[in-house]
Amino acid sequence: MDSRASAFLVRLKANRWAYTVTIAATLAVGILLGTIVSSGVKGKEPKSSDATQLTVPAPQQLSNTFSQISKQLEPSVVNINTESTVKNPHVRRGAPGGQGGQGGQGDDQQDLFDRFFGGQGGQGGPGGDGSIRERSLGSGVIVDPKGYIVTNRHVVEKADRIRVKLQDDAAGVQHDAKLIGMDQETDLAVIKIDVDKPLPAAKMGNSESMQVGDWVLAVGSPFGLQETVTAGIVSAKGRNIVPGRQFQSFIQTDAAINPGNSGGPLVNMTGEVIGINTAIITETSTYAGVGFAMPSNTVVQVYNQLIAPDHRVVRGSIGVMFSAQESPAVARVYGGGSGVTLSNVVAGSPADEAGLKVGDTITAVDGKQVKVGDDLVSDIAVRKPGSKAKLTYLRNGNKSETMVTVGDRAKLFAARLGDEEASTDEDQPKPSKFGVTVRPISPELAERMSLTAGKGVIVTDVKQGSFADDIGVTRGDVILEVNKKVVNSADDFSRIESSLKSGQDVVFLVRQQGAGRQDGAIFLAGTLP
């Protein structure tokens, strides 16, 4: 055996000895620990008779109220899918850098919509003409066995196709629905599907009977997940989430409401619909603990008018404006005390004809006291145009009375509302060759947009697929110039339009809807077909 082999055997024996010592030490430690542990538990042996065996109780329903209501309501709650075509998807209303790198402040109205209503969202693909098809989801509740469904206006607005899925429908089966009518001011709409059998209809309840702290359930299709039920309580009543917005006094709840719940019912513990889930306050477009439902008493009033032959909601008005927030300073300066102090009286309105002036404080209608603006609006709005009302008011501290003839709110505030409900078909001007209908700008809107009074016209309607629609003009935009010619009236607009022919370039100088004082005008241009 050479020296290298001898050295290897020596190292092997040494390693084996070290390994053996290590194992022995480990065993010794283990034995020692075992001794210590065993010595710690030594003592009196426990008697098995001292221990009681655990048992599993028989199944029982501790509370079935929620489940009973869910089973009762779910067949009446539907999933709504809509499709709409969006022209010029690259044009985003109020987007920064829209023209010549001049940033804007954004569309304030759309920001409010996104914050409170979660936006309309959806998905879609491009069309052959550069447009895109948008799809969105929502909910609704059947209120008539014949197929009438209540939902939110923002769920079905501008939809090219509305489809409804019932609870017992097979996968992929949907029913085409037609729009019966919608109301801008309450964000409510009525649609209808035709079926060959009576449908399960939900029962409407009285929202005034609800108290803060009462249990409620929200039913709908959040994120398209049909037949979803969430529970919560009434957190508050009479909540106004957009300052100055009339007819939107909500029930607040902490029942989870998410995108897709819009239009679904909020129900009480007897299974009655006491609200239509409409809005959420959130920074993430998902549930944050605060949701809002339009009270059922308002829903019933709007529904009954939308299913009538005219399919529109008519509200009374006397043509006055006032501060949304009460101010003790105003009362002290104008000597009004309790009541509604007028900040504006529309020229030619019923209030103007009745002799009311700015600074007058209305204290009663037909002898019924009004303390805040909502009291006055609620009383007058339900009256039919043409009816009479006796107003009690204070002027310079002196009490007076006058009779007023109630007018149609939509007509009195047509320019300010800027909606298709602003006038009837009989008095609505026909769309131009540009595909738009325009009206003069009200002094209030001109001031709000920092425009010179009498300059420009407001777009009240845009025909789908028209020239104006293609270049990005939308309802609510203010047209200031056409091909460098100033537009001071609807007649100016029509005169300029009639002088243009097919194939000519047309450039609109436009202040976009929702633009503030710091936002500049932009150009919207194209070639007239």
329 alpha-carbon distance from chain centroid? 34
187 is catalytic: yes
Closest residue by Cα to residue 175 from 184, 187, 189, 165: 165
Beta strands in 62-102 (DSSP E): 77-86
- Residues 108/93, Cβ–Cβ less than 8 Å: no
**349, two tokens:** 């309105």
CA distances to 458, 496, 516 from 475, in Å:
8, 20, 16
In the set 76, 136, 154, 235, the catalytic residue is 154
Cα gap 295→210, rounded to integer Å: 10
| CA-based R_g, the chain, Å | 34
Instruction: State the DSSP H helix or E strand holding residue 368, giving kind and residue range, or none if neither.
Output: strand 368-369
- C-alpha closest to that of 480 among 444, 515, 509, 458: 509
| Alpha helices (H) along 1-103 | 3-41, 65-73
What DSSP letter does each residue of 176-205 carry, written as one string?
EEEEEEEETTTTEEEEEE--SSPPP-PPB-
3-state secondary structure 367-405: CEECCCHHHHHHHHHCCCCCCEEEEEEEECCEEEEEEEE
Among 70, 84, 207, 262, the active-site one is 262
Residues 495, 201: Cα–Cα separation, whole Å: 53
Distance, CA of 133 to CA of 37 (rounded, Å):
73
Task: Please give the structure tokens belonging to residue 333.
Answer: 């300066």
Angstrom distances, CA of residue 183 to CA of 119, 180, 241, 274:
18, 11, 18, 19
Task: Look at residues 483, 479, 423 and name the one whose alpha carbon lies nearest to residue 451.
Answer: 479
**Element counts in the chain: helices (H) and strands (E):** 13, 26
187, 254, 408, 470: the active-site residue = 187
User: How far apart, in Å, are the Cα atoms of 161 and each of 78, 134, 187, 385?
Assistant: 16, 11, 19, 34
Let me know if 175 is a catalytic residue: no
- Active site residue ranges: 154, 187, 262
